[in-house]
Structure 1
Amino acid sequence: MRTVGSLLSRLRAHPAVVGAGLVVVMLLAGFVGWRLTGGGEYVAPTPSTAPVVRADTDAARASLDELVTGVREGAEPKGEDPASVAVRNAHAIGIEDVTAEYVAESGHVDSDGSWSADVEMSWRGPGDPALTEELRVGFDGDGAITGFSAVRGTRMPLWLSGPVEVRRSGSTLVVVQASAEVADRYAELAATAVAEVREVVEWDDPRLVLEVPASGLDSALGVQQGTYTAVAAVTATVDGSTRPGTPLHVWVNQGVIGDLEAPGAQVVITHEATHAATDAPANAHRPMWLVEGFADHVALRDTKLPLSRTAGQILAQVREDGPPDHLPGKTEFNTRSEHFGAEYEAAWLACEVLADAGGEEALVDLYEATGRGIGLEKALQASFGFGEDELTARWRSRLSESAR
């Protein structure tokens, strides 16, 4: 049986007829297609007469204006649609100075007229600077808002993410996507954390803000999915900058901390509150082991838990491989590290070595001195009378002894 393939092979064998042969092949291919569809007279396809559905951008802009007006005027909406929920959240939290500028459609318009668009939104939380993010906003065929989501690389604000419970005191603000009971728990953890931190460091005007998303921290912080899957909480500037003095919030991972018993959960929140009180995320002077170890010193100073609970991971590593040869640095403090968690325990024990050697006040002096830019070696000598080499030796001995 002769096929189009055999004809092609023959044409390739005779270059002189390739040009004409290609025309023959195309015609033959068309003929085969015509035969396979049943023959008959060829009829050109009829152009589609379906109406083109266009986005009602005027209605969308009106919905955004209504959202902004609702937040600014303070009227309490009664609906459960995303815009009404956002307005209620804003009132409860104290969000102000909201703006929403329609930028452009994102993707196609569905047959029912719904679509999404990029919208530049700005707002200001209590005690925070004005924040601006480009967000993805969904609209139905009538231009009503159907939801909010983050554009890749931007932070998704909690007040636009769904219903929240809000708890506030003179020194704390807690925003939780969970039940009232869960919100009460976090409010208690926050209040205790402030009190525990103030026992160690000066925090004259304490302000601790907890944000607790319903699921994970990645979207709330605008990072790649999976970055903070195993992290219980993160303290960061509200705008993602590293400018000293920029207000800090603590983002809490319910999927991790929710499984902890009360003492463990309190350690996490007090640890993060220490970062907030000392402006740790925006201070690039202190070595990482001191930042994390000091925060754990504050969080664990009154705990009665055994070392098997507070340093179990690092001690297991020491039993297997011996003590590390250097204090943990930025490379070790990696959220995707195979031994994530052991580094924090190692850093904590380094700070405990210092506290045992010179007392808690000397440890606080070291922390504050390095925060002012004084080099670690000089600060260690001033507070303890020995340098980093001696500290490392004492720390390695402590690890080895504790691992027995």
Structure 2
Amino acid sequence: MRTVGSLLSRIQARPSVIGAALVLVLLLAGFVGWRLTGGGEYVAPTPTTAPAVRADTAGARASLEQLVSGVREGAELDGEDASAVAVRNAHAIGIEDVTARYVAEAGNVEQDGSWAADVEMSWRTPGDPALTEELRVGFDAEGAITGFSAPQGTRLPLWLSGPVEVRRTGSTLVVAQTSTEVADRYAELAATAVAEVRKVIGWNEPRLVLEVPAAGLDAALGAQPGTYTAVAAVTATVDGSTKAGTPLHVWVNQDVIGDLDSPGAQVVITHEATHAATDAATNTRRPMWLTEGFADYVALRETRLPLSKTAGQILAQVRENGPPDHLPGKAEFNTRSEHFGAEYEAAWLACEVLAEAGGEQALVDLYDETGRGIGLEKALQASFGFGEDELTARWRSHLSDSAA
């Protein structure tokens, strides 16, 4: 009788038996499979995975070089693709010193050969410092640029985000993703705002830049979704920093300001122009109520609307709950605050109280002195002869009288 041990010893003694046995088993398995499928010619199964598609990085680099040279050399690119549109935008705005450095692929290459890469880009708008951002650039299978985007927290400049309308004067620049007619409207608002601000403060070399993105302010400013949904416009540094002296632009929310009539829209733009003229986005020495209230004072200075229109929200609150016990601070000016608009009205009325008590120049002096770092109490005493407690009392009384 054969035992397992004797069989193993024979196999170990004759290695060729293993090879012959394996060949026989494989042949039999193939024959059985052939018989079960009905015979015929054997066909190898088709691979289930498609061959890998590689990114055309050489083509991408060439497209970036073409974009840069188009902006630098003033050469127009044919067509309506993203690169050609960006070059035309850059020429209209006056963009200078453009560079584009390919960094790395971002994600997988699609089956159609399209893909995206991180690209470090720099540029300079006349009057501004050079800006550098790492943006996301889309490419097609041949490496042609298909579009630009920005990661969360990074600003995407309007000249790279689609066609824009540009309006320029000696003191204003409007870059708008709007129709021709709407761009003309913003140009008029900007010019009027400069003139109105100069009637109150010394803006010797005015420069007001309006940027009007098509889709709200959050993406344009690299902010979390919903941050600026209810904000008509915001003045901020071009690079997102808080460094004093950094040029400021005004970003306009079309979803909000588009619903305003001409006087209302003008108030918004003049308010923001006041911030731009006084470096309000980088000067944090002033109390918030004075920064915002003074900007509204300038914007509403020549408005002849009743208080029911210019201060309706705060007066409604006073009728219901009485006047606030303190001037509005940073917490009240939160863009997500339930009573966001009322705080601006309250701050404006505080400045109205001051202008009525000491005149417009005294209010301007207070704004200037606090901006230089002089304490509010000291500056109030110097310009008006009373301090913050007296101002608060007069302001609360004015609110109560106006709400009656």
TM-score (norm 1): 0.88
Q: How do 1:78-97 and structure 2 match up within 5 A? A: 78-97=78-97
Residue 282 of structure 1 aligns to a residue whose secondary structure is coil
Q: Which residue of 2 aligns with 1:330?
A: 330
Q: Cα offset for 1:77?
A: 2.0
Q: Which residue of 2 aligns with 1:105?
A: 105
Between the aligned residues of both structures, percent identity stands at: 83
Q: Which residue of 1 aligns with 2:372?
A: 372
Structure of larger gyration radius: 2
Q: Which residue of 1 aligns with 2:67?
A: 67
Q: Which residue of 2 aligns with 1:29?
A: none
Q: Cα offset for 1:316?
A: 0.6
Instruction: Count residues in correspondence.
Output: 363
In structure 2, what is the Cα distance between the partners aligned to 1:352 and 1:83? 51
Post-superposition Cα deviations, 1:202-230, rounded to whole Å, max 9, x if no partner, equal 00000000000111011110110110011
Q: Aligned-residue CA RMSD in angstroms?
A: 1.3
Q: How do 1:115-264 and structure 2 match up within 5 A? A: 115-264=115-264
Report the AA paired with residue 191 of structure 2: A
In structure 2, what is the Cα distance between the partners aligned to 1:64 and 1:151? 19
Distance 1:137 1:400, change over 3 A: same
Q: How do 1:39-58 and structure 2 match up within 5 A? A: 48=48, 50-58=50-58
Report the AA paired with residue 147 of structure 2: G
Report the AA paired with residue 108 of structure 2: H
Q: Cα offset for 1:355?
A: 0.3
Q: Which residue of 2 aligns with 1:395?
A: 395
Q: How do 1:4-15 and structure 2 match up within 5 A? A: none
Report the AA paired with residue 273 of structure 1: A
Distance 1:49 1:240, change over 3 A: closer
Q: Cα offset for 1:107?
A: 1.2
TM-score (norm 2): 0.88
Q: Cα offset for 1:48?
A: 3.9
Q: Cα offset for 1:46?
A: 7.3
Residue 178 of structure 1 aligns to a residue whose secondary structure is coil
Gaps of 5+ in 1: 1-39
Residue 102 of structure 1 aligns to a residue whose secondary structure is strand
In structure 2, what is the Cα distance between the partners aligned to 1:64 and 1:313? 51
Q: Cα offset for 1:78?
A: 2.7
In structure 2, what is the Cα distance between the partners aligned to 1:269 and 1:229? 17
Report the AA paired with residue 92 of structure 1: A
Report the AA paired with residue 366 of structure 2: L
Q: Cα offset for 1:142?
A: 0.7
